[in-house]
Amino acid sequence: MPQVMIHKNGESYAGEVKENSNLVVRAGIRQFPWPHLNYGCGMGRCGSCASRVISGADQLPAPNWKEEKALGARLAEGYRLMCQFWITADIEIAQDGPAPGQRRGAAAAALPPRRPTQD
């Protein structure tokens, strides 16, 4: 089972996850890496789960179009969206607060406004 190490705000958190786990899905159902992982929409739109991959990047799939759109040049710096892939091997990541240009709670702001319903 893959080992996950998260570095965040000067602290480190480690845990084991089942193979083929999505870290944002796991955090959403309050399993490790919860509460240590920043995340928001889970769909690659808000960028809240952007993390710099320290080790294990060679075991990840290539970035998809959502990551390319949300992260741009930051992909070359080793950033990935944790909501966009399932891990199959050990990974070490760093999240040093909200993604640049994002603020906490930005996930809700990134979503389109809801249309009013008519009764």
Range 17-29 burial, b when 16+ CB lie within 10 A, else e? beeebbbbebbee
Which pTM was predicted?
0.79
Question: Please, what is the average pLDDT of the chain?
Answer: 86
The CATH superfamily holding the domain 3-95 is Beta-grasp domain (3.10.20.30)
The predicted-structure confidence for 33-66, as pLDDT tens digits, reads as follows 999 999 999 999 999 999 999 999 999 999 999 9
**Better pLDDT: 116 or 67:** 67
Average pLDDT score over residue span 4-33: 96
Q: How far apart are CA 103 and CA 93, in angstroms?
A: 20
User: What are the domain boundaries of the chain?
Assistant: 3-95
Which of the four pLDDT bands, split at 50, 70 and 90, describes residue 96? Answer: confident
Q: How far apart are CA 7 and CA 108, in angstroms?
A: 25
